[in-house]
């Protein structure tokens, strides 16, 4: 028996270092891309004067929004007293910190002059929504760090609920700020909508829970364990509610734009004539990112303990749909020309009034993957060092 335990320990150690090396390789890939972009300029990317937020921003916004949503698992446990979720609180908090760090890494390295972030930190402009997010992101690191401490240290357990409430409120404010970046941006008429703030909150709940389930189910399958039936049943239903709510808010957003005459041409571009954007929206987000996961989650027997792989597939499709939606939302709105003079045709050598073309480069993809790698490394280290695998009361 002792020999078997030693063999198991060696296997776990070898698996840990393999995963850590894999994550480190992804981080190195991202740093290599950032260095290449620093040396040669953003001309090596697909971005231009009109499309200034490219594929790296799709990765970054996804991780930042998911960092807020994944914390909902811990909030349900600490704030609302659900024991099944409380056991998963520490892993949820760790994922929130890791995803936020990975997302901010991509944003900083995509600036072109990442060292100048010190200017934003030392010269605060309260009239800028971007400046608000500097405070919101830093605050989330601090609050979630304390929250994780209260969950891991028994002496701090009485403070877990207050810290959970603070994290619960702060993440809603943070996601509102992220949605407001687009909602307040008058330089792109496709973004301007008050519904973007609540829409991003609902999207964060769906994407965060889906990503949490991908990590949890992968770890469980890796260790030959199964999620308790009652816990799986609750999470299946909760994810289905969040996915359906997200689809509703996206439909309301586009329906609102269709109601405005000035937005009808843009909506036709996204929904009908946009080529890759139209395909990604209807096929990537609506069909494979929402409808198919809902079918998998709501079909009879979806909450059985033996359906973990089906649940994993549904969660992975939700994550895929998130990237498809963000690509359409961020890139599609930029390639569409801004209506500088309503009622007049504007044309010049700077492509005024023309639909731009954006093709992401390999360097942008490498940078985005590097951010995911940074989040992956932090999660692997945290799970190993602090033993954050969920332990249910029944176990």
Compute mean pLDDT per 10 residues along the chain, 395 residues long, and list them.
Answer: 42 79 96 92 87 93 96 86 84 95 92 74 77 87 94 88 92 91 77 88 96 90 78 89 97 90 87 93 97 91 67 94 96 84 67 80 96 95 86 61
* pLDDT attached to residue 106: 94
- List, in sequence order, the alpha helices (H) in the chain: 2-40, 55-70, 72-78, 83-86, 89-109, 117-122, 129-152, 160-183, 196-222, 229-259, 264-268, 276-279, 292-298, 308-335, 362-386
* pLDDT attached to residue 83: 78
* pLDDT attached to residue 2: 39
Q: Which residues contact 368 (CB under 8 A, 6 or more apart)?
A: 30, 55, 56, 58, 59, 60, 106
> Tokens for 96?
């929130």
Closest by CA to 133, choosing from 95, 98, 170, is 170
Going along the chain from its start, the domains and CATH numbers come out as 23-339+349-386 (1.20.1630.10)
Asked whether the beta carbons of 371 and 105 are under 8 A apart, the reply is yes
* pLDDT attached to residue 393: 60
């Amino acid at each position: 028996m002792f020999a078997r335990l030693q063999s198991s320990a060696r296997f776990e150690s070898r698996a840990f270092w393999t995963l850590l090396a894999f994550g480190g390789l992804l981080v190195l890939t991202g740093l290599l891309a950032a260095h290449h972009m620093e040396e040669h300029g953003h001309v090596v990317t697909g971005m231009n004067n009109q499309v200034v937020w490219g594929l790296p921003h799709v990765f970054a916004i996804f991780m930042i929004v998911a960092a807020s949503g994944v914390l909902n698992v811990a909030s349900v446990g600490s704030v609302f007293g659900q024991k099944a979720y409380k056991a998963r609180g520490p892993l949820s908090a760790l994922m929130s910190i890791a995803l936020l760090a990975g997302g901010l890494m991509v944003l900083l390295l995509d600036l072109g002059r990442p060292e100048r972030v010190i200017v934003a930190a030392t010269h605060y402009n309260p009239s800028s929504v971007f400046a608000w997010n500097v405070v919101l992101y830093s605050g989330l690191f601090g609050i979630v760090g304390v929250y994780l401490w209260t969950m891991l240290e028994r002496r701090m357990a009485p403070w877990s609920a207050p810290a959970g409430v603070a994290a619960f409120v702060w993440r809603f404010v943070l996601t509102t700020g992220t949605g407001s970046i687009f909602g307040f941006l008058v330089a792109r008429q496709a973004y301007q909508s008050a519904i973007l703030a609540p829409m991003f909150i609902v999207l964060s709940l769906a994407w965060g829970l889906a990503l949490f389930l991908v990590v949890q189910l992968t770890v469980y399958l890796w260790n030959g364990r199964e999620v308790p039936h009652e816990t799986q049943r609750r999470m299946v239903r909760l994810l289905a509610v969040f996915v359906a709510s997200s689809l509703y808010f996206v439909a309301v957003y586009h329906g609102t734009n269709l109601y405005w005459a000035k937005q009808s041409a843009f909506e036709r571009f996204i929904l009908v004539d946009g080529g890759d954007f139209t395909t990604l929206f209807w096929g990537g987000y609506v069909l494979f990112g929402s409808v198919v996961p809902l079918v998998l989650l709501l079909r009879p027997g979806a909450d059985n303990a033996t359906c973990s792989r089906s649940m994993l597939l549904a969660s992975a499709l939700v994550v895929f749909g998130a990237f498809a939606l963000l690509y359409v939302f961020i890139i599609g709105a930029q390639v569409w020309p801004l209506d500088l003079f309503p009622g007049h045709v504007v044309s010049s050598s700077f492509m005024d009034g023309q639909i731009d073309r954006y093709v992401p480069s390999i360097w942008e993809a490498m940078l985005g993957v590097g951010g995911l790698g940074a989040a992956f490394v932090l999660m692997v280290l945290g799970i190993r060092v602090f033993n954050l695998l969920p332990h249910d009361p029944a176990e």
